Structures are given as structure tokens and as C-alpha cells.
Amino acid sequence: MTMQPGEDPNAQPNTQPAPPQQIIHGEQQNAQFATNQQQIVYINLKYKPEVNFRHISYIVIGIGITLYFGIFIFSMETDSFLMTQIGTSLCCFSFCIGFILDGMFYKGKADWEVSTGQSNGGSITGMVFNFIFAIIAIAFAILTIVGMGLIGL
């Protein structure tokens, strides 16, 4: 921008927005303002499987906890240590199944993330932790059953 004699050097230049482009009979008006802009469309990707194993895992864990409390209350009324151990073992098995189902959810999500060009590190980590927790839960269930055999129930 060049200064004209008599202009104030501190004055703001007169900037006006470019008038909109008009097409009249195939000719483009105000061509000096035409720019090539790309339109960016953001797509909110969300993993929605047909069979949601995560919801099924919540149901299985809920059933296991409900069974545990039901069996625990029954065992307190009948004074049966065996029933308490069976309830504990069933609850641990339900957690094991729930963790496996949640791991299956993460496996499907990881595959979907790869197919959409996203990082699947979080899903792989979740899947690995779910299977580790499943092994721990099955170990507790087995130890509960073995414990019943060791004490002669």
C-alpha cells in the first residue's frame, strides 16, 4: 500500500468487505475478489454396533450381583456357608463374562476405528485390560470353588 501526499500515516485503511459474486449470463462479476475456497464438512463419527456387547455385559454383571445378594440373603437365613461361597463364585463368573463381552465390544470398536482411519490405541488398551480383569475374576471364582473343596463343603 502506498501513501499519497496529504494522507495521515496513522489512519486506518478503508477496508470494506468484498461484494458477493454475481453470475450474469455466464460472466463473473467482481472477479478480482473470487477465491477458491474448499468447504470443510465435519462428520461426527460414533461407533454404534448392531449388537452392543457393552450393554449385554452390563446386564450380565447386574444379574450376577443380584444373584449374589439374593443367595447371600438366603444363606444368612439358612446359615449355609456353602450357599455364600456359591453366590460369590457366581458373581465372579458373571464379572468374568461381563469383562469378556466388554472386550468383544472394544475389539469391534478397534476394527471400526481402523476402517474409518482413526487411532485404535485406546480401544486396544481397553480390550487388553478387560481380558486381564476377566482372568482375575475367573481366578477368584475358581479359588472360591477350590476353597469350598479344601474345607470339606
Look at residue 6 in the predicted model and tell me its pLDDT: 60
Strands (E), 17-98: 23-24, 27-28
User: Rounded to two decimals, what is the model's pTM?
Assistant: 0.68
Look at residue 80 in the predicted model and tell me its pLDDT: 84
Q: Of the candidates 116, 10, 139, which has an alpha carbon nearest to the alpha carbon of residue 147?
A: 139
Tens digit of each residue's pLDDT, the chain (153 residues) = 555 566 555 655 555 555 555 555 554 555 555 566 788 877 778 899 999 999 999 999 999 999 999 999 999 888 888 888 899 999 999 999 999 999 999 999 999 999 998 999 999 999 999 999 999 999 999 998 888 766 665
Look at residue 88 in the predicted model and tell me its pLDDT: 92
Residue with the three cell numbers 456357608: 81
Helix (H) or strand (E) holding 130, with range, is helix 121-150
Helices (H) and strands (E) in the chain, counts: 3, 2
